[in-house]
Amino acid sequence: MTGMMRKWSQAAQALAAGSVALTSLATSAAAAPAQPVGQWTVELQGERCLAGLDFTVFGRPVKFVLEPNPTGGGGYLYVINQGHLDGYGWVYADIAIGADLAKHQVVEMMPSPESNRNIYRWPIGEEWLAKLDVAQRLWVQSEPLHADLAVTGLAQARAELRMCDSRLLAGWGFAADQQARLATFPQMDTLDIQPSDVPKDVYRHGAVGNVDGRVTVAANGKASNCRVIESSGWPTLDAKACELMVSRGIFKPAKAKDGSAMGAPYFFQFQFPS
């Protein structure tokens, strides 16, 4: 999977969105889903832990990828297939877990750095991931993407991802003994971002600013030590993102198992308004 993920652009709040409204899906079981080829691979890619499962659909390779949020429940699901996209964008898709259907979900489309590969990504809450653990089937349908995959062995892959995330957090300075004390990671209350916050050099070019990073949230709820994990491609925008996270981010601090507040990292993903 090395090198497949290079661009990210969904709002930070989407990672913590939790469950989505589900309705019954009666038609998804009409045909058998594609079965995985080989086993899960779990690896640390830069500052992200990713689990991937390969498929062959109509003779073409398809990859399913799960990226958990290292500082909270849920994360992102990806489907990577053959094709060619000229740029980035979003589409609506109907997404089913087993027999439960979530209609008109926003899916981000992005070309892969690998030749003739497309990446489709959307946020998923912890409740939906738990459903996928049980149902072991993912069905996605939109104009550019059709996939029906038997996502087996996810529980074990998620256990390996938790170990990967633990190593990642230790590398961020959040040691094993601190992780053992932790009950809940920090949570963001508010972050006020306005179009006027976009640096002028970026605004003039009409670029969309998407920045991923992490901060340390102290026991008093103050953020510091911002680090960009995935650059927007605009240094001034990256610097502005960190400035806003530290100066305007209002957080609920992490809680220890004894109920006291404690310092801990917070992973953020958000998009500047255009």
At 21-51, the pLDDT tens digits run 444 443 444 589 999 999 999 999 989 999 9
Give yes or no: residues 20 and 49 share one domain: yes
User: What is the rounded distance in angstroms from the CA atom of residue 47 to the CA atom of residue 173?
Assistant: 13
Q: Which two tokens stand for residue 145?
A: 């993407």
User: Is 2 a domain residue?
Assistant: no
* pLDDT score recorded for residue 160: 97
Block residue for tokens 């996502």: 151
Contact (CB, 8 A) for 174 and 71: no
Give yes or no: residues 201 and 150 share one domain: no
- How many structural domains are present in the chain? 2
Which domain-ending residue is among 108, 137, 161? 161
Please report which confidence band the pLDDT of residue 73 belongs to, taking 50, 70 and 90 as the band edges: confident
- Looking at per-residue confidence, does 235 or 84 come out higher? 235
Q: Which of 67, 242, 265 is nearest to 169 (CA)?
A: 265
Domain holding 242: CATH number? 3.30.2420.10
Q: What are phi and psi of 208, to 5 degrees?
A: -95, 130
User: Is 166 a domain residue?
Assistant: no
Q: Which two tokens stand for residue 182?
A: 């932790």
User: Is 134 a domain residue?
Assistant: yes
Give yes or no: residues 57 and 157 share one domain: yes
User: What is the rounded distance in angstroms from the CA atom of residue 271 to the CA atom of residue 81?
Assistant: 25
Is the per-residue pLDDT at 62 higher than 60?
yes
User: What is the rounded distance in angstroms from the CA atom of residue 203 to the CA atom of residue 268?
Assistant: 22
Give yes or no: residues 99 and 128 share one domain: yes
Please report which confidence band the pLDDT of residue 130 belongs to, taking 50, 70 and 90 as the band edges: very high
For the chain, give the mean pLDDT.
Answer: 85
Which domain-ending residue is among 113, 135, 161? 161
Q: Residue 199 in 3-state DSSP?
A: coil
User: Is 98 a domain residue?
Assistant: yes
* pLDDT score recorded for residue 274: 53
* Residue 237 host element (H or E): helix 235-248
Give yes or no: residues 141 and 211 share one domain: no
* pLDDT score recorded for residue 207: 56
Range in 87-91, 104-108, 173-177, 260-264 the model is least confident about: 87-91
Give yes or no: residues 58 and 194 share one domain: no
Is the per-residue pLDDT at 113 higher than 90?
no
Range in 60-69, 77-86, 154-163 the model is least confident about: 77-86
Give yes or no: residues 218 and 157 share one domain: no
* pLDDT score recorded for residue 270: 74
Give yes or no: residues 138 and 185 share one domain: no
Which residues face 13 on adjacent strands? Answer: none
Classify the phi-psi angles of 136: left when phi > 0, otherwise alpha if psi is within -120 to 50, otherwise beta: left
Give yes or no: residues 139 and 246 share one domain: no
Give yes or no: residues 152 and 241 share one domain: no
Range of the structural domain that residue 42 is part of: 12-161
Which domain-ending residue is among 161, 182, 205? 161
* pLDDT score recorded for residue 204: 65
Give yes or no: residues 220 and 244 share one domain: yes
Give yes or no: residues 68 and 31 share one domain: yes
